[in-house]
Chains A and B, each alone.
Chain A
Amino acid sequence: MRILWFVLSPLMALAVGLFFLGLSRRFMARIQWRVGPPLYQPLIDILRQFTQKSVSHGPLFDLGVVLSLASSFIVVLFMPLGGTAPLSSSGGLLAVLYLMLLGPLGIALSGGEAANPNVSIGISRKLILAVGYEVPFLMIVLALMTYYGTISIGEIVAAQRESASAIASFPLVFSGIAYLLILPAMLGVRPFEVVGAAQEISSGPAAEYGGPYLALATIQHGLTMFIGISLFVNLLWGGASNPVVFFLKMLVVFAFGFWVNAAFPRLRVEQAVRYLWRWPTLIAFVGLILVATIGR
């Protein structure tokens, strides 16, 4: 069964990630009174991009984007998606925290070799934004790990199945709220679209990408969405007993994380960090203090 999940998890992540990309475009269009592209438009784009010629700025330019996507797939292997996680005994949530940053880091290394000013600005923004949301995010994750006394995602899911979901239990509700507040920043959607700001810095890190590069970067973006949302479902909403329920829960969280997208204009990176370090951090901090003092 576990061997099967090694293949199933990445495929599910790929499909759901692309579906979310399509859904978000559709969602946006409807809010703006447009029809919007079909849901499978991202898939068409990716297939087309694979046949298009592009430019390369060197070996690292190629390797970085591959590394970025590969590491995102590895993170997926750590997630129980309504079943058992394929890589459950390899460092747990702590390893996931690290592997999650290899995605942006791979893009950063790849973009770095391109010697393009927009790319450099985009990367600098991405890293600053990451520091912004990592403060509340780490507090949330630490509150959960301390509360359940484990670093394994699987055990956190199992513990929630025995009692209530984390988001519905007393001290952890703060962590849940804080997570929802930082979710748009983690997914990189507006108002936190500072990294790939198309009109400002020509899509930032992706400025030099075309053809297969852009395809991989797009898939990576879809996977980032998938990971951010599935972490929420696993850690705070009790996971699921089968992939279908898991997917439905993800859909709800996605809708919640996305509605702000249409309603707000883009922030500047300092404004984003200032926001992230104010309310979400405060709420996450309260949650962490309560967990540390009251405990289970």
Chain B
Amino acid sequence: MSLGLLLIVAFGGSLLTYLLGKVSARTRDAFAVLISLALVVMVASLYGKAFRVPFYGGFLGMPLVLRIDGLSWLFAIAASVLGCLSVVFSLGYMKGKERTSFYYSMLLLVIAAMLGVVLSGDLLSLFIFWEIMSWSTFLLISYNGGPALAAGMKYFVMSFVGSLAMLAGVLTLHGSFGTLEFTGVAAGMSSASPGYVLAILVLFGVAFGTKNAIWPFHAWLPPAHSEAPSPFSAVLSGILIKMGVYGFLLLMFVIVGLRTFLSLGVGRIEFHTVLSIIGAITILLPTFIAIFQNDAKRLLAWSTVAQAGYIILGISFGTSLSVAGGMFHFLNHAVFKALLFMVVGAVEYRTNGVRDLDSLGGLIKRMPVTFIVAVIGVCGLIGVPLTNGFVSKWLIYKTLILERSPFLAFAALFGTWGTILYSYKFLHNIFLGQLPQRYEDMERAPFTMLLPMTILSVVVVLFGVLPGIPLAVIDTIGVSFGFESLHVTPWGIASDTGALNTVNMLVAALVGLVVVWCVFRSGARSVSVGQADSYAAGAAVPRDKYQYSVRFYAPLRRMMAPYLKDFVDSFYMRLAGWVRGLGDGLRRIYTGYVGDYVMYILVFLAVLIFVQIAWSPW
């Protein structure tokens, strides 16, 4: 399987989808699904391969190269699978909406660009695909217009700053080493001075950090995730922002190299420790902001920022366990967060766009399957044992504790407790509590939505019970970075520093549940009653009069709200306002009167003449 063909199918598919949309909507839908499936198959067939191919001879005298190895395969398979599921989900979600051809075409373009990013073998191709990705993302975020356009602009401006930093980095590297291929740059970097390497890390770090939305570059993410169409939010949160993680991994362990990366620093302050601390901040602050969100998607968006913190903390801490944990958490987050965004998408679809947590409720009665997958997704997000999130977080906690970093471990663990709060609120306010009268006749989610959600929830449990499947792939990547192997077994790891055995837990859980269930069943049977038939201490609870879920954590909010302002975002917004003011000021100069312009020229000439007479510099 050639990499060039893969990208041609991906990009060509995107274009053809748009053109087919002009002919027939059904053909277009089928074609989009087919293309995304083909991509999954093609990427899967590349498993275990490692090679490079130049695909374009001389761009400014440099060959553009594609390459594949374990790292890029992992990201490529995640991107193609999530992309495919998202396209399938979109079939129902986008039915009857405007500009669907454009939507599908852009969605496929984003997937193609992500594949391009991870398959690039040199920094220039990486940059080109990165830009295609950013632009098409912008178009999809602002698809709905209105507030979505503002969210898109915010994304675009911040992304653009990141791109500029990356371009500066690429140009610097080219100036120093004359090549942009990863292997060549890596060879050059090994003899470069620490200060130079640090500067390159920071430049690329801004680009990757913005994409990955780590604090303080996170401000674009919450509005963008909440305003984008839900199937695309799943891709955006699940895999697209993880391109930043890919970038970090590539930069830290492939280009700079493990040993150099861990020894970098200014004086006693180590660069990777600083990055870990940023990761810890990225966990804590957004988690507690998420607790008080009332928009389901915004809650998930803040949660995405927080989970990105775990990933960054893991990979920058730089031990074999933590890097494996970080990479595994990236994969897990892609699965459960895409799942949760799809859940919101399904709810939104059936309630005509309601995602306000204060006005939903009781939907478990109407969408039972959606509820079950939501619970599984939430368990993964919290990291309940026997779901995938547990294993990846366990790896990170464990190494933080054993390497004597209890404060970072505290941030990670306490972040998990915050996660429980917002996850439960998410479940309770959508699915539990009272069912409002207006949703009494609501239908279940359509099959095209249930299918991708079910697949993802199966993966959440599968990776939790048999974490060895993905960990085997991740372990090979870790070994290629220069870490020692984790000794992966199908149900966990068997390293000297402590074993993990999920099968024991599974058996105990099953036996425990069965025994308790039998005891419970042996008691007197219960009578099924409706929701109105509840005990309220003598007072009847009137129907649809109260919404119990409103201000769910009010007491905590009263305590914490003053400390939870997003200072970074207000700073950016003030900066933006200031720039706009500057723009307005500048615009006043352009009055449109020829006379004024003539006067500007005369004044300018007069100044020049004065300068020449006074100091005669010319």
Contact = CB atoms under 8 A, between A and B. Distances in A.
Interface string B390-426: 1000100110011010110110011011101100100
A99 B509 CA distance: 11
B439 interface: no
A252 to B, nearest CB: 29
A58 B546 CA distance: 21
Interface stretch (A28-36, A45-53, A228-236, A256-264): A45-53
Interface string A129-165: 0110011001100110110011110000000000000
Given A66-B516, A288-B406, A124 B553 contact: yes
Contacts of A292: 404, 406-407
Nearest to B529: A55
A211 B522 CA distance: 12
A255 interface: no
Interface string A273-294: 1100000000000001001100
Nearest to A199: B537
Contact of B427 (A95, A112, A146): A112
Contact of A66 (B504, B513, B546, B555): B513
B512 A70 contact: yes
Interface in A194-217: 202, 207-208, 211-213, 215-216
B571 to A, nearest CB: 28
Contacts of B375: 109
Interface stretch (A100-108, A183-191, A241-249): A100-108
B505 interface: yes
User: Which DSSP category, helix, strand, loop or mixed, fits chain A's interface?
Assistant: helix
B414 A134 contact: yes
16 contacts: A54-B527, A58-B528, A60-B364, A70-B512, A70-B515, A74-B512, A86-B508, A95-B394, A97-B413, A113-B364, A115-B434, A124-B554, A131-B417, A146-B404, A216-B516, A270-B558
Contact of A87 (B424, B508, B549): B508
Interface string B225-264: 0000000000000000000000000000000000000000
Contacts of B383: 98
B414 A94 contact: no
Among A60, A112, A118, max chain B CB count under 10 A is at A112
Interface string B529-566: 10101111100010000101100111110110000000
Given A50-B522, A211-B526, A216-B516, A74 B548 contact: no
B413 A127 contact: no
A67 B375 CA distance: 13
Given A50-B523, A127-B420, A149-B402, A56 B528 contact: yes
Interface stretch (B115-123, B193-201, B493-501): B493-501
Contacts of A208: 534-535
Contacts of A169: none
B418 A90 contact: no
Contacts of B558: 270
A202 B398 CA distance: 41
Nearest to B401: A145
Interface of B: 362, 364-365, 371, 375, 382-385, 390, 394, 397-398, 401-402, 404, 406-407, 409-410, 413-414, 416-418, 420-421, 424, 427-428, 431-435, 498-502, 504-505, 508-509, 512-513, 515-517, 519-520, 522-529, 531, 533-537, 541, 546, 548-549, 552-556, 558-559
B399 to A, nearest CB: 10
A112 B428 contact: yes
A18 interface: no
A89 to B, nearest CB: 5
Given A90-B501, A98-B384, A123-B428, A116 B536 contact: yes
A174 interface: no
Nearest to A277: B559
Contacts of A101: 417, 420
A37 interface: no
Given A51-B524, A134-B417, A73 B516 contact: yes
Contacts of B509: 70-71, 74
Nearest to B523: A212
B401 A146 contact: yes
A95 B529 CA distance: 37
A168 interface: no
Contacts of A51: 523-524
